[in-house]
Amino acid sequence: MSTPHASADSQSTGTTEPAQSSGTAKPGAAKEVRAEAERRRTFAVISHPDAGKSTLTEALALHAKVISEAGAVHGKAGRKSTVSDWMEMEKARGISVSSTALQFNYTRSDVAGTDDEVVNVVNLVDTPGHSDFSEDTYRVLTAVDAAVMLIDAAKGLEPQTLKLFQVCRHRGIPVVTVINKWDRPGRTPLELLDEIDERIGLMPTPLFWPVGIAGDFRGLLRRGEDGDAAEYIKFTRTAGGAKIAPEEHLSPAEALALEGDTWVEAAEESELLSSNGQDHDQELFLAGQTSPVIFASAMLNFGVRQILDTLVTLAPPPRARLAIDETAREVDDPFSAVVFKVQAGMDTAHRDRLAFMRVVSGVFERGMVVTHAQTGKPFATKYALTVFGRERSTVENAYPGDVVGLVNATALAPGHTLYIDKKVEFPPIPSFAPEHFAILRAESASKYKQFRKAVDQLDSEGVVQILRNDVRGDASPVMAAVGPMQFEVVAARMKAEYNVDPKIEHLGYSLARRTDAASADELNRQRGVEVFTRSDGVLLALVSDKWRLQYILKELPELTLEPLVAATD
């Protein structure tokens, strides 16, 4: 991208003059696009809540020198919230409930200042940690090329981590594992590796091994190609972890003299890993069979540079993407992109709506007119932005892997495709099956116009699914959500952005099934069942519980009651 967020000491991305409006029309454009795509690394951080995901996101930005000081853990007295958490609810609770995008330049530390220096453009998409927002995280995972799986050193693999890993496996996304919070008491490193291998069938292949047990994090042993101890990276703490932790690189002999038995134990464990075949193999990593492992403390900024170096070295650049018709859209084909998120209210000074698109192929130029695949209509891209948390700056051009925010793109929704020249449409993003349902009303009838506008906005963003039927009417739509915290987000945003006090009344349904018009009347006559129309026109039957559903399936087998497709099916 021509203007990624960067501080004064960051390096230029080195982009060239914009291509012609066809996206690859000028001479040599295809070669330029391939070269620019090769520099991109687009990834997401996934984890269970409270594993340190947003803290790590900010630590990565700190090491890339795009912020001068880390905000540390949000929600703690006297400390800032992280740059990736912009919603007041996130700052107050210390959790991420919405995905956001950060873009910055990074040069691998071991080549900086040399003739081999390559400036990588990093597109980091921070994701919600709470399980109630799994659907938002899944949308992000349709837009990235790799993922960082963050694990708490004391807790190991947790339910949300397991669920998101399965999504990565389903989509063929390579995973780099980071075992975080090594500065606190936790489990043994070998125990954690065994759990990863046994529970998810992913062979962990550590690139760096901790020197010192959990709670006594002294530094990292960098493993050589055969698992030997190549060097010792010793870290020094900074006040509150607000600055980059100084590193000292020592030879194995110097490490032995300094750390004694602690170094010996780390070196012996590294050799044991090699005897078990747990050395990095790039082909197996890209095939999703192994995962490079790094031990770190995002709070102290220990091991963070090693994570960035690993990502730009080993994570794959943007690749071809399959369209609905199974044809591959190569990175040097004419421009195409997929919308993976829509978000409004990111800045009270800009009451606009951003549609985040991931560039799949070709060159994006601000102002180019593209085709919206779902409607076949032209779409102008005059207002295009790159975002850094809540901050924004104008984008002139972008390449495969880049994330661009299109302003006031009211026609766009998650899963939509934009393209020029050769027609393409990428597969839609499936919706999760909702399990929680509530009626939404405006407390004051005088605010009904603002209420309707807010409902339509939040529905189009995918914050919740909005269901309607003739009995309840437009004044009482029903919200369908994966988790109840989504309802809290709706209430908070309606109040903050539209000055509407909503009234939420929970309904006694727990299941949703796809149905059809021929079955709707009979289903509406059944006790514990109500049929609604979703905004996309799909008919959903809400059922009180699984026993009621089983009864209807047995007694009325002619009715249509189909399970909603899960995101990993």
Q: Give me the pLDDT at residue 471, please.
A: 92
- Cite the annotated binding site for GTP by residue number: 126-130
Q: How far, CA to CA in Å, does 72 sit from each of 15, 45, 91, 93? A: 33, 17, 12, 14
Tell me the β-bridge partners of 393. Answer: 386
Which residues are bridge partners to 286 per DSSP? none
Contact assessment for residue 321 and residue 370, using Cβ atoms and an 8 Å cutoff: no
Contact (Cβ atoms closer than 8 angstroms) between residue 21 and residue 371: no
What integer pLDDT is reported at residue 546 of this predicted model? 94
DSSP secondary structure code for residue 547 in this structure: H
> Where, residue-wise, is CATH 2.40.30.10 in the chain?
321-419
Give the CATH superfamily of 41-314: P-loop containing nucleotide triphosphate hydrolases (3.40.50.300)
Here the tokens at position 104 are 């910055």
The boundaries of every CATH 3.40.50.300 domain in the chain are: 41-314
436-563 is classed CATH 3.30.830.10: no
Question: Where in the chain do CATH 3.30.70.3280 domains reside?
Answer: 436-563
d(CA 42, CA 257): 41
Q: What was the pLDDT predicted at 23? A: 59
Binding residues: 126-130
- Return the pLDDT at 389: 58
**DSSP string of 10-30, one letter each residue:** SPP----SPPPTTSS-STTHH
Query: Is residue 453 packed enough to be buried (19+ CB in 10 Å), middle (13-18) or exposed (0-12)?
Result: middle
Contact 207, 220 (CB under 8 A): no
C-beta separation of 461 from 342 below 8 A: yes
Measure the CA–CA gap between 289 and 273, rounded to whole angstroms: 16
Tens digit of each residue's pLDDT, the chain (569 residues) = 544 444 333 333 333 333 335 555 555 688 999 999 999 999 999 888 888 888 898 899 888 888 767 653 333 333 444 444 444 554 554 444 445 678 889 998 777 667 778 899 999 987 765 555 567 778 888 899 999 999 999 999 988 888 888 889 988 999 999 999 999 999 999 999 999 999 999 999 999 999 999 999 999 999 998 888 999 999 999 988 888 999 999 999 999 999 999 999 999 999 999 999 999 999 999 999 999 999 999 999 999 999 999 999 999 999 999 999 999 999 999 999 999 988 765 555 555 678 899 999 999 999 999 999 999 999 999 889 887 656 778 889 999 999 999 987 888 988 999 999 989 999 988 777 888 999 999 988 888 999 998 898 888 777 889 999 999 988 999 999 888 888 888 898 888 888 999 999 999 999 999 999 999 999 999 999 999 999 889 999 999 999 999 999 999 999 999 998 655 44
State which fold the 321-419 domain adopts: Elongation Factor Tu (Ef-tu); domain 3 (2.40.30)
Amino acid 348: pLDDT: 54
Q: Is 403 left (phi over 0), alpha (psi -120 to 50) or beta?
A: beta
Report phi then psi at 93, rounded to 5: -95, -15
Using DSSP, state whether 25 is helix, strand or coil. coil
Asked if 323 contacts 336 with a C-beta cutoff of 8 angstroms, the reply is no
